[in-house]
Amino acid sequence: MNKKCTTIRKNLVAYLDRQLSERKKQALQEHLDCCKECRAELNELRASQATMLLWQDITPSEHYDRIFEQKLAMLKQDLAAAKEKSHLLTIVRHCFNTRFALATSAVLAVCIVMLSIVAFKQYRKPSQHELGISRDIELYRNMEVIQYSEALEHFDMIQVLDVLGQETTG
Amino acid sequence: MDDPHVQLMLRFQRGDESAYKELYETYKIPILNFSYRFCQDRRVAEELSQEVFLRVYKTASTYRPDAKFSTWLYRIATNICLNEMRTGKYRYELEQHHAGGEEALSTENKNSEFHRNVHERIIADEAEQSVRKAMASLPGKQRAALLFSVYEELSYREIGQRLGCSEGAVKSIIHRAKIGIRDILKRGIPRDNE
Ligand SMILES: [Zn+2]
């Protein structure tokens, strides 16, 4: 089999199926006119195609439609049940998505606001006067150390401390 | 899309059940025969073709009219047949539940051929047996492509759309399938040269 025949035979099936371009079809027909082997090959393919067409169609059996109707009715039931279920789910999801979520976030927001008010009230910046007092207390504590060691000997100092203490608490 | 079956499917999508019924009546025999030639068992084929129409009902909402209706329908049918080929689910179920029911059906099948004369029928049956055997030897996708080409005379382009592959791929699939069938038939049945 020469090279030309090999190429032609690759296209024989498509030729029988009328799927070749006009150009390829013409080239093939020209080759068939002068090549007995390729013509024989084509006839074999044509014959096997004809044989395949001998395979008869069947018709649905007697109960085909009735059985199908039953299956369809069952499917419809299933679909309706699934729809019902998904409907319920949607409602629940809807509640969770909108009302529930809204309510939750509102409650949370109120809590946060209240907590921050309380916290703000608890903590405010100390005034200069208060800062002064806290410095004095610090001093007072340092003096306290002295107080213990020398208390009895330096009674005057204790008096000073008393004055200081009165100032800070007053 | 001016395909009237696309219009029917769209009508069904909008809830018109009579449109679905019309599609079922139009396609039940072609789909049954496609399934039958694919799996070669009448009862399994009936189950498979019914499953195709149930699938259409179930997945109607996902249908998009971007091709001919038959393209979509046969894509479903091919998937269902390939799936059965892989799992053998219906074949197994039928074997379990209806052991012994084969005879009644095959008799009924033969009835349609009754008018043919005996000699013709024997030859036809013989040829049919060979074709069946040859067809069964093909891998699933080749088999589907061949059925579309031989029994529906579809273009390679349309077959490609049904199988989700290119025209070139279809050309080579069908070439291989038809050469294979030709070889099996040549060996299988004695035949006069044309
Ligand atoms: Zn040649």
Rounded to two decimals, the ipTM of the complex is 0.81
The pLDDT, as a whole number, for residue B150 is 96
Residue B101 has pLDDT above 70, yes or no: no
Is the pLDDT reported for residue B42 higher than 70? Answer: yes
Q: Which of B16-25, B32-41, B112-121, B124-133 is predicted least confidently?
A: B112-121
* Interface contact B181, partner A, CB < 8 A: yes
pLDDT in tens, A37-63: 999 999 999 999 999 998 989 999 999
| Out of B46, B124, B171, closest to residue A14 by CB | B171
Q: Would you list the domain boundaries of chain A?
A: 3-54, 81-122
User: Residue A148: pLDDT above 80?
Assistant: no
pLDDT over 90 at B64, yes or no: yes
B179 lies in the same domain as B123: yes
pLDDT at A83: 85
Using a CB–CB cutoff of 8 Å, tell me whether A82 touches chain B.
no
A20-34 confidence digits (pLDDT tens): 999 999 999 999 999
CA A61, A66, A72, A77 torsion-angle sign: negative
- Report yes or no: B34 at the A interface, CB cutoff 8 Å: no
Q: Is the CB of residue A45 less than 8 Å away from at least one CB of chain B?
A: yes
Q: Which two three-digit tokens encode residue B20? A: 């679905």
Could you tell me if residue B99 is inside a domain? no
**Residue numbers of the domain that contains B66:** 4-87
pLDDT at B128 > cutoff 80:
yes
User: Chain A contact for B93, CB < 8 A?
Assistant: no
Check whether B156 has a pLDDT greater than 90. Answer: yes
B192: confidence class by pLDDT, cuts 50, 70, 90: very low
In a domain, B169, yes or no: yes
Residue B189 pLDDT more than 70?
no
Chain B residue closest to A79 (CA)?
B58
Lowest mean pLDDT among A20-24, B104-108, B156-160: B104-108
Chain centroid to Cα A68, Å, comes to: 39
Q: Which residue of B24, B29, B155 is in closest CB contact with A59?
A: B29
Task: Give the whole-angstrom CA distance, residue B112 versus residue B141.
Answer: 30
Closest partner residue to A45 (CB to CB) among B53, B153, B182 is: B182
B111: nearest Cα among A64, A52, A58, A51: A58
At residue B103, the pLDDT reads 47
Domain total in chain B: 2
Q: Considering the domain boundaries, does residue B98 fall inside one?
A: no
The mean pLDDT of A138-150, rounded to a whole number, is: 60
pLDDT, residue A158, reads 57
> Which residue type sits at A84?
E
- Per-residue pLDDT tens over the stretch A110-128: 989 999 888 877 776 778 8
Determine, for residues B131 and A19 on separate chains, whether the beta-carbon distance falls below 8 Å: no
CA distance B177 to chain A (A): 10
pLDDT at B170: 97
Question: Quick check: pTM over 0.95?
Answer: no
Instruction: Report the number of secondary-structure helices (H) and strands (E) in chain B.
Output: 10, 0
What residues in B contact A60, CB-CB < 8 Å? 28-29, 32, 46
pLDDT score of B113? 47
Percent of chain B with pLDDT over 90: 65
Distance A28 CA to ligand 1 centre (A): 9
Are B42 and A49 inside 8 Å of each other by CB? Answer: no
Q: How far apart are the first and last CA of chain B?
A: 43
CATH of residue B16: 1.10.1740.10
Q: Is the dihedral of CA B12, B16, B21, B22 positive or negative?
A: negative
Distance B146 CA to ligand 1 centre (A): 25
Residue type at position B113: E
Co-location of B8 and B49 in the same domain: yes
Task: Determine the average pLDDT of the residues in B17-25.
Answer: 97
Res B99: pLDDT:
62
Distance from CA of B4 to the nearest CA of A (A): 23
Cβ contact A72–B57 (<8 Å): yes
Q: What is the DSSP string of B125-150?
A: HHHHHHHHHHHHTS-HHHHHHHHHHH
Q: Are residues B115 and B157 in the same domain?
A: yes
CB contact under 8 A, A58 and B28: no
Is there a domain that residue B176 lies in?
yes
Residue of chain A whose alpha carbon sits nearest to that of B175: A13
